Structure 1
């Protein structure tokens, strides 16, 4: 009998839907306090997940959900890098 492997689920901070972890983009606050996009999903620190859609990113920023999830203010450089990454994925 073949076992099916469970896929980890995470909630998008923008649309608040549960999705597969691999389908989401991880933003991490490292123990040093730096905020960065984590393409591997393995950096240590507090993470927040967001769908690769601009609507979700805008909702997360407007509602300050990303800041609350990471317990820190989000620099403009991180927001612009997220927007670029999402634009690449949407194409």
Structure 2
């Protein structure tokens, strides 16, 4: 009998779409208040998921969604890091 493995789903905080965890990037706030991109998805702390799409990152930046969700100010460099990551992934898959 062929049993399918359950795909973990997460919700993008910017678009509100439910997607497989692998299609999203996790941003995590540690107990110290440091915010970073969590590529492994295993760092401890408060996490928020964003779609790996330029529009989702720009929307999160415009509406301050990550700052509200993680309850901490988000630096400009984090958004730049996210956009770079998305461009690298989209460039390598095409």
TM-score (normalizing by structure 1)? 0.92
**1:69 paired to 2:69:** yes
User: How far is 1:29 from its partner?
Assistant: 0.3
Instruction: Give the secondary-structure state (helix, strand or coil) at the position aligned to 2:60.
Output: helix
Instruction: Give the secondary-structure state (helix, strand or coil) at the position aligned to 2:2.
Output: coil
- Provide the aligned C-alpha RMSD in A: 1.1
Instruction: Give the secondary-structure state (helix, strand or coil) at the position aligned to 2:42.
Output: coil
TM-score (normalizing by structure 2)? 0.89
Deviation string for 1:44-71 (max 9, x for gaps)? 0001111111101011111111111111
Instruction: Give the secondary-structure state (helix, strand or coil) at the position aligned to 1:80.
Output: helix
Distance in 2 (CA, whole Å) between partners of 1:32 and 1:54 is 28
1:29 equivalent in structure 2: 29
Distance in 1 (CA, whole Å) between partners of 2:75 and 2:24 is 20
Distance in 2 (CA, whole Å) between partners of 1:16 and 1:22 is 16
Structure 1 unmatched runs, 5+: none
Q: How many residues align?
A: 91
Structure 2 unmatched runs, 5+: none
Instruction: Give the secondary-structure state (helix, strand or coil) at the position aligned to 2:69.
Output: helix
* Higher deviation after alignment, 37-46 or 74-83: 74-83
